């Protein structure tokens, strides 16, 4: 097993002025496994706890209870050397690509960031790696000197993907990374992600609320609702959910084309 969430619970507390502390339970007894080289979809409505779980899995926050195992080791007990290796092996791509990229950096500098801190490459090796990554995500060497504001949303999301790929991770967490992009850009990025997975064997945790993308990209799916995983299944053919929250996500999918009644269609054809 590559990474595993074991009975994770997580709470946030706040104390309004002159009032008692308010505790909000965000995650409740989460168990989840990701295998090497697989793509697991994590779906759920807004506020279901998907992004919080992602932050725990990549070590940005510590769970209130339970543990995260990476290659059978509890990440809470990692040594400094273990933590550096974990940061290299587990990367994250966020939804807001413009917020995730330093506006004063060139594209090359953005991609080079993890190479500076997580690898021992020399400058020539870094330059070669940056050009390899640009090609891998469908960008050109000429893009190296551009700034984020000179890139489209889809192009900058590819830059963020290239940055995540830079240290050759074993797992990339994609937190709503394709949300807000049009269908064509989503399709293009999914194609690049699949090609990269075939070439490198990287695993993906694909966080989304769009089940159409799950069908195109993922082998397994887990559904979250109110801080719990309520259903898990393999993606093969049409998904058959049983939990009401999962069914609601499925019912929310719009058809690819407007649906007309048979009578309307027949009369239109007769004309």
Spatial separation of the C-alpha atoms in residues 99 and 44, rounded to whole Å: 23
Rounded to the nearest integer, the mean pLDDT of the chain is 89
Residue 255 confidence (pLDDT): 54
Name the superfamily (CATH) of residues 3-101+172-252. P-loop containing nucleotide triphosphate hydrolases (3.40.50.300)
Q: Which residues pair with 12 in a beta bridge?
A: 24
* Contact assessment for residue 110 and residue 97, using Cβ atoms and an 8 Å cutoff: no
In sequence order, the 6+-apart residues with CB closer than 8 A to the CB of 249 are 43, 44, 45, 209, 211, 223, 241
What ranges in the chain are assigned the alpha helix state H? 50-57, 80-89, 97-100, 107-118, 123-136, 153-165, 183-200, 211-217, 244-251, 262-270
- What would the pLDDT profile of 60-106 be if each residue is shown by its tens digit? 999 999 999 999 999 999 999 999 999 999 999 988 888 899 999 99
Q: Would you place residue 216 in the very low, low, confident or very high pLDDT band (cuts 50, 70, 90)?
A: confident
Q: Is the pLDDT of residue 151 over 60?
A: yes
Cα separation, 59 vs 68, whole angstroms: 9
Range 120-131 average pLDDT: 96
Query: Band of the pLDDT at 261, cuts 50, 70, 90?
Result: very low
What pLDDT score does 254 carry? 55
Exposure class string for 103-118: b at 16+ Cβ within 10 A, else e: eeebbbbbbbebbeeb
Domain locations in the chain?
3-101+172-252
**Which pTM was predicted?**
0.87
């Amino acid at each position: 097993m590559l990474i595993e969430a074991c009975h994770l619970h997580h709470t946030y507390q706040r104390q309004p002025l002159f009032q008692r502390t308010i505790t909000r339970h965000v995650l409740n007894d989460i168990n989840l496994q990701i295998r090497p080289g697989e793509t697991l979809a994590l779906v759920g409505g807004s506020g279901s706890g998907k992004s919080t779980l992602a932050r725990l899995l990549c070590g940005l926050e510590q769970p209130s209870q339970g543990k995260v195992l990476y290659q059978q080791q509890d990440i809470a007990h990692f040594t400094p050397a273990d933590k550096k290796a974990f940061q290299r092996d587990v990367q994250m791509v966020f939804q807001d690509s413009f917020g995730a990229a330093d506006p004063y950096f060139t594209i090359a500098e953005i991609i080079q960031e993890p190479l500076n801190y997580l690898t021992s490459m020399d400058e020539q090796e870094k330059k070669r790696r940056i050009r390899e990554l640009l090609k891998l995500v469908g960008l050109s060497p000429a893009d190296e000197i551009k700034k984020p504001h000179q890139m489209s949303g889809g192009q900058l999301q590819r830059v963020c993907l290239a940055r995540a790929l830079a240290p050759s991770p074993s797992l990339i967490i994609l937190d709503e990374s394709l949300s807000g992009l049009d269908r064509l850009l989503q399709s293009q990025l999914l194609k690049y992600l699949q090609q990269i997975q075939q070439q490198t064997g990287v695993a993906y945790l694909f966080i989304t609320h769009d089940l159409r993308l799950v069908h195109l990209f993922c082998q397994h799916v887990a559904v979250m609702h109110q801080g719990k995983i309520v259903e898990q299944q393999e993606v093969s053919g049409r998904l058959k959910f049983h939990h009401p929250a999962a069914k609601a996500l499925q019912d929310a999918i719009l058809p690819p084309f407007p649906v007309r009644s048979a009578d309307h269609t027949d009369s239109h054809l007769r004309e």
